[in-house]
Amino acid sequence: MSLRHSYTLIAPFYDGFLAFATRAARARSLAGLAESRPGRVLLLGVGTGLDLPHLPPRHRYVGLDLTPAMLARARRRARGGPTDLVQGDAMRLPFRDTAFDAVVLHLILAVVPHPERCLAEAARVLRPGGVALVFDKFLKPGETGGWRRLANPVSRRIATRLDVVFEEVLRAAPSLTVRSDEPAMAGGWFRLIRLEK
């Protein structure tokens, strides 16, 4: 099953599963945008728009998602705010180099089949001095992962990968430097990571 097909099926239920559980972590991750100078911000994998209520109005936002069903829900949540919504592939971004001052990668690196390509593309479209905000679930380097690795062959075909190691993904984007890395949820399985170019 393709990601587009599975997320079309998941779209009506997505918010019910994730809205409450991820609200605080999303707000923490996005808080830094309120302090930065106004600019262009890319929301990779915008989904149903769960990040939109936490975005400071000082910026201009572009939200990208692969699935029309998810974007339709995001449009309702955006309600004419400062967000343009675009259908596209996070692993092949339709934007020029250094087009954005910040890139938000919330719950996308563990979803796409090739997270390295996704992060490399985020780095490509990020201007020097810009920031990338990551919120997702990652195994730690050397962690066996137990049930997560066992469940991954099925889980990755339906909704998300459970075996992504962020430190391995980061190698594909050598222009990005980790500025902070904090546990967010589930005993540190979910992390909030701030990167700078």
Q: How confident is the model at residue 46 (pLDDT cuts 50, 70, 90)?
A: very high
CATH hierarchy code of domain 3-196:
3.40.50.150
Map 152-169 to HEC letters.
Answer: HHHHHHHCCCCCCEHHHH
- Mean of the per-residue pLDDT values of the chain: 85
Looking up tokens 């309120």, which residue turns up? 34
Higher per-residue pLDDT: 78 or 187 = 78
pLDDT reported for residue 140: 85
pLDDT reported for residue 91: 96
pLDDT reported for residue 42: 98
Residue 192 has φ and ψ, to the nearest 5°, of -110, 120
Structure-block tokens of residue 30: 């996005």
Domain locations in the chain as residue ranges: 3-196
Across the beta sheet with 40-44, the strand order is: 83-87, 60-65, 40-44, 100-106, 126-137, 190-196, 177-185
pLDDT tens string 61-101: 999 999 999 899 999 988 767 789 999 999 999 999 999 99
Averaged pLDDT for residues 28-50: 93
pLDDT reported for residue 150: 52
Q: Rounded to an integer, what distance in angstroms lies between the CA atom of residue 100 and that of residue 33?
A: 13
pLDDT reported for residue 18: 66
Would the pLDDT of 51 be above 80? yes
Residue 196 has φ and ψ, to the nearest 5°, of -130, 145
pLDDT tens string 122-147: 999 999 999 999 999 998 887 666 65
Q: Rounded to an integer, what distance in angstroms lies between the CA atom of residue 146 and that of residue 154?
A: 15
pLDDT reported for residue 112: 94
Classify strands 100-106 and 40-44 as parallel, antiparallel or unpaired.
Answer: parallel
